[in-house]
Every structure is written in structure tokens, then in C-alpha cells.
């Protein structure tokens, strides 16, 4: 994903506040990542969604994957609302 699609950096790094160590790492999380992290997942009831879709309860890996998908769907909607889709 390109930086623009992600909304750019949520916490921009400049030469004055660069806290990266050993030259590893990029320029921090994108705004898309930040929005996804802030998503209130409980209102979506991911376990119920999985059960209605597949007719069984999810295992932990399946539930985590669904939660991540929901978080990024919401983050993308937030970026679109800002006109950054």
C-alpha cells in the first residue's frame, strides 16, 4: 500500500524528533493504521458475524483475522470521509 492510501504518517518524523534506533524502521504508523487501532470492535460483534457466516464459532486465529479486517474496513471508511480514499 502506498503512503497516500494509508493517509500519510499519523505521527510524522522529522530529523529533529527521529526516534528510530539502529536505522531500522520506517516513518511510523500511517493514519490508516492509527484509525484501525482506534476502532471500537465490540459493536461489530465479530464472533457473531463469524458464526452467522460460517455456522460455527471461530478459533482464535480466525477471530483475530476477522477483527483485523473489520478494523481496516472502518479505517478506510474514515479516510474516505476525509476525502482520502
Decide if 76 is inside a domain. yes
Looking at the structure of the chain, the number of domains it has is 1
Task: Report the pLDDT averaged over residues 2-11.
Answer: 65
What pLDDT digit, counting tens, does each position of 12-31 carry? 666 665 555 444 445 667 88
pTM check: above 0.75: no
pLDDT for 8 equals 73
Decide if 52 is inside a domain. yes
What pLDDT digit, counting tens, does each position of 29-74 carry? 788 999 999 999 999 999 999 999 999 999 999 999 999 999 999 9
Decide if 40 is inside a domain. yes
Decide if 15 is inside a domain. no
Range of the structural domain that residue 46 is part of: 31-81
Decide if 3 is inside a domain. no
Decide if 71 is inside a domain. yes
SS (H, E, C) the chain: CCCCCCCCECCCCCCCCCCCCCCCCCCCCEHHHHHHHHCCHHHHCHHHHHHHHHCCCCCHHHHHHHHHHHHHHHHHHHHHHCCCC
Kindly state the cell numbers that stand for 42: 465490540
Decide if 39 is inside a domain. yes
Amino acid at each position: 500500500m502506498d503512503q497516500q492510501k494509508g493517509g500519510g504518517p499519523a505521527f510524522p518524523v522529522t530529523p529533529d524528533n527521529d526516534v528510530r534506533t539502529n536505522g531500522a524502521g520506517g516513518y511510523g504508523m500511517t493514519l490508516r493504521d492509527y484509525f484501525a487501532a482506534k476502532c471500537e470492535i465490540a459493536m461489530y460483534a465479530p464472533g457473531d458475524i463469524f458464526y452467522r457466516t460460517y455456522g460455527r464459532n471461530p478459533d482464535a486465529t480466525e477471530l483475530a483475522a476477522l477483527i483485523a479486517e473489520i478494523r481496516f474496513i472502518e479505517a478506510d471508511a474514515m479516510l474516505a470521509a476525509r476525502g482520502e480514499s
